Amino acid sequence: MTDGKEINSLGRIESRIFLLRGQRVMLSMHLAELYELEPRVLVQAVTRNIERFPDDLMFRLSAEEFANLKSQFVISSWGGIRRAAPYAFTEQGVAMLSSVLRSDRAIRVNIGIMRAFVRLRQMLATHAELARKLKELEKKYDAQFKVVFDAIRELMTPSEPRKKGAIGFAPLVREGGKEH
């Protein structure tokens, strides 16, 4: 059994938030793990209440997305071979899960997840604000500081471009406060 501290571990939750189809999502098997449910139990609860989960709150991964996702996990945490692709839940979809899963644990997990999504938004806003301020400073000062500004800008950019052929999503990884 997982204790309350682990439930609210933002790092643990954030490591399970992916960028997929241009949205930050959590996958059904990771949510089931956090809720301490079998993935099939979570999916059954959702399908019994499918009217609460329109496509903008939840969608099933395509076969190609699923295959690509599985290839990114070198050590399988999937519990063996899975026949069906997992569902992806947006932040609002995860919030809707709280109306379907009503246990005390589900409430605590959802609070932790909502905090993780808020923290990610704050980090993105901070990064955007920092870039804006840097641009303003660069306009103010002459060319002698250009090298400094270029170095700072280089530190703010992702280190490696994605491999060709990668499809649609990437886990959010933070190094020095940057999101890749």
Note whether residue 158 is domain-resident. no
Please give the pLDDT value at position 42.
93
What pLDDT is recorded for position 156? 79
Domain coverage including residue 89: 4-123+166-173
In a domain, 13, yes or no: yes
Q: Is residue 40 part of a domain?
A: yes
Three-state DSSP class for residue 26:
strand
Q: Is residue 97 part of a domain?
A: yes
> Half-sphere exposure of residue 98, counting CA atoms within 13 Å on the CB side?
14
Report the residue count for the chain.
180
Question: 12-34 pLDDT, tens per residue?
Answer: 788 888 888 888 899 998 999 99
Amino acid at residue number 77 = S
Residues of the chain with pLDDT under 70: 1-8, 10, 73-83, 141-145, 159-180
31 CB burial (10 A radius; 0-12, 13-18, 19+) = buried
Q: Is residue 14 part of a domain?
A: yes
Q: What is the pLDDT of residues 134-155, one digit of tens each?
A: 777 777 766 666 777 777 878 8
What pLDDT does residue 46 have? 94
CB-based contact 59:162 (threshold 8 Å): no
Residue 27 included in any domain? yes
Token pair recorded at residue 68: 């690509």
Q: Name the pTM for this structure.
A: 0.61
pLDDT confidence of residue 51: 95
Question: Which tokens belong to 9?
Answer: 């571990």
Q: Determine phi and psi for 101, rounding to 5 degrees.
A: -100, 110
Give the model's pLDDT for residue 177.
54
pLDDT of res. 107 = 84
**Total of domains in the chain:** 1
CA dist 121 and 170 (Å) reads: 17
Looking at residue 57, its pLDDT comes to: 94
CA distance linking residue 174 with residue 126, whole number of Å: 14
The verdict on residue 12 lying in a domain is: yes
